[in-house]
């Protein structure tokens, strides 16, 4: 009985191997003839190790072939591969991470334009982490570049990334990489608050308090300036109305007081 079970198990294993072997063979032949769908399939076989051993670089090669023909699944997969590589490099090797995030964003962007929401989300993450790389920098390797950080965070924010919206707001609030602008900061914080981002609520309240304080100070200064102008105007009118004799007396007493 046990021998029979072993026999059937071996037979089933052999049959499955032959079936996948044939499918793999014909898939490879079609891929080599330029069929994008087959190229993607072969890429998956190599990348996932379905042919016995995982071969990442060979998988990427076939993904790229299919992606360059506009096959969206391959474009997304290629972007995902680069994104994963970037995640492995961040934050220990910022330069390499930037290289991979840039490459990933290129392919995610192609798929995102086709309405793929997963690609749109990943594209936002690429932009977010690119901004983070430039904002943090890396001692001896990558100098901090705040303007680049704002650029990439803004692109991520426009994709709906709430954390990026907060970071863009902080840059405007503090004048990092951009001209300080509390109103712009408040605008970005509100976008993040609309997505129920708890951090954004705190940032928005702080920015609004600061804006109100500055507004009140400006109002006080403007009122004082206006009052001083009115005083000068009134003094000028008073002096103009004096007779020549009174003007001479005024100048005499001012001279006496100044001595």
Q: Return the pLDDT at 230.
A: 54
The CA-CA-CA angle for residues 174, 197, 114, to 5°, reads 100
Residue 229 host element (H or E): helix 198-241
Q: What pLDDT sits at residue 42?
A: 92
The Cα–Cα gap between 10 and 4 comes to 10
Q: What is the pLDDT of residue 191?
A: 97
In the prediction, which pLDDT does 215 show?
85
Instruction: Give the per-residue pLDDT at 236.
Output: 55
Mean pLDDT by groups of 10 residues along the chain of 259 residues? 51 46 64 94 89 84 96 96 95 95 96 94 96 94 95 96 96 96 97 96 95 80 59 57 65 64
* Integer Cα distance of 158 and 150 in angstroms: 12
Q: Please give the pLDDT value at position 40.
A: 95
Q: What is the pTM of this model?
A: 0.73
CA proximity to 74, closest of 62, 57, 58, 56: 62
Instruction: Report the pLDDT value the prediction gives residue 256, as an integer from 0 to 100.
Output: 67
């Amino acid at each position: 009985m046990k021998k029979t079970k072993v026999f059937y198990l071996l037979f089933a294993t052999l049959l499955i191997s032959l079936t996948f072997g044939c499918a793999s063979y014909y898939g490879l032949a079609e891929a080599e003839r330029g069929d994008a769908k087959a190229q993607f399939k072969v890429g998956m076989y190599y990348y996932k190790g379905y042919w016995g051993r995982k071969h990442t670089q060979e998988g990427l090669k076939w993904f790229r072939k299919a992606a360059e023909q506009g096959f969206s699944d391959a474009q997304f997969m290629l972007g995902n591969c680069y994104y994963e590589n970037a995640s492995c490099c961040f934050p220990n090797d910022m330069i390499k991470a930037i290289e991979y995030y840039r490459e990933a964003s290129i392919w995610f962007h192609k798929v995102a334009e086709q309405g793929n929401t997963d690609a749109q989300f990943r594209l936002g993450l690429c932009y977010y982490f690119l901004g983070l790389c430039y904002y943090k920098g890396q001692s001896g390797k990558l100098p901090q570049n705040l303007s680049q950080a704002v650029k990439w965070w803004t692109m991520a924010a426009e994709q709906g990334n709430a954390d990026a919206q907060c970071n863009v707001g902080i840059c405007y609030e503090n004048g990092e990489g951009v001209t300080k602008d509390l109103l712009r900061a408040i605008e970005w914080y509100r976008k993040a608050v609309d997505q129920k981002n708890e951090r954004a609520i705190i940032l928005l309240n702080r920015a609004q308090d600061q804006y109100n304080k500055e507004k009140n100070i400006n109002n006080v200064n403007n009122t004082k300036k206006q009052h001083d102008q009115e005083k000068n105007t009134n003094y000028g009118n008073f002096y103009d109305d004096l007779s020549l004799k009174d003007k001479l007396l005024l100048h005499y007493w001012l001279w006496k007081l100044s001595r």
